[in-house]
Amino acid sequence: MVPVVEHVTNLGIAAHALFIPVFLGLGLPLLAAFNVFSVAAWIGARVANRRRLDGLATLLMFVEVVSHAALACRVLGWNSGFHYYLIPIVPFLMFHDRLPTRAVVAGSAVVTATYLLLRAATIDVVPTAISPAVLRALEYGNIAIPLGALGVISIYFRFASMEAERAMESLAMTDALTRLPNRRRMRELLEAERVRCARGGRSFGVVLADIDAFKQINDTRGHDGGDHVLVELAAVLRGVLRGQDAVARWGGEEFLFLLPDTDLHGAGVVAEKLRVAVDCAQIAFEGRRVPIAMTFGVAMCARGATVDDAIQRADRALYSGKHAGKNQVVLESGDAIPMSAVS
């Protein structure tokens, strides 16, 4: 269902239902009868929209608006203002992303041609059945209703555009596989924390982790198995972190952690908790458990240090842990966190 169609059809039903008694009171039974058809067409468009028949809903609205404008202008003249109903059709078609481009172009061309033809054919038509004051009142009403419809269309597509922009920003900051923040987003978080630290905040921990023997997992379980492990592992890591911490997929099988307001020992303890959680994780693929282990390198970023420097120190600690047997936590000082640290 297209929400904007739902709102516009409600407005169309109400407007044409109101026109029925108005035209009967003015002694214009043809227009009153046509508005019975109009109400039915708008109800049909709403039903079609709810059934996800977007093309049918749009066609019903399009035919009703164009034919109603043509008939009303032919009977009451250009100055009655019924041609104004053609104007909202063009932006509605243009912003309707479910319509094919050819249909949008063709519909807009038909509306433009109808508008010009009505101008030429009805500009001199002066109805004798109603007074100039009533005609003027009709014109004002016929300005207000299309502008209301145009406002509904504009507001909806403004919100839709803003939502799409937010979604695109989120995609640009999120790893497509694990749904963790990506490298770009983590860079922003790290820089924001560095600025806060420079203004008098406490130092923060930077932890770089790598899955041990991940190539073997890909070789034995296939890349689908490797991807599954990464997704499940991301959930495990998120579940261990504190509320103020952040984790990002740094690249491949590497993860980077930001631990605000944490000294080196505290960051090491958090990293050991992460290591234990990964070691104990019950991750399975195609019914078979996949044993996972990770090695962690821990560094601090204090006032005056750069983020890149802290990451490099964490990377060196990680490299040291890999060469010392893997599945362990190594601080930038070269010390390994004992496995009893979180017991």
**Cβ partners under 8 Å of residue 206, min gap 6:** 190, 256, 257, 258, 259, 267, 298, 299, 300, 301, 307, 310, 311, 313, 314
Sheet strands (E) in 264-331: 284-285, 288-289, 294-301, 329-331
Which neighbouring-strand residues pair with 204? 301
Token match 């990002």: residue? 248
Q: End-to-end CA distance of the chain, in Å?
A: 54
Establish whether 332 is a catalytic residue.
no
Q: Which of 232, 253, 272, 332 is catalytic?
A: 253
- The rounded Cα 146 to chain-centroid distance in angstroms is 29
Instruction: Spell out a b/e string for 59-85, using b for 16 or more CB atoms within 10 Å of the CB, else e.
Output: bbbbebbbebbbbbbebbbbbbbbbbb
With tokens 């749904």, the residue in question is 179
By annotation, the residues acting in catalysis are: 253
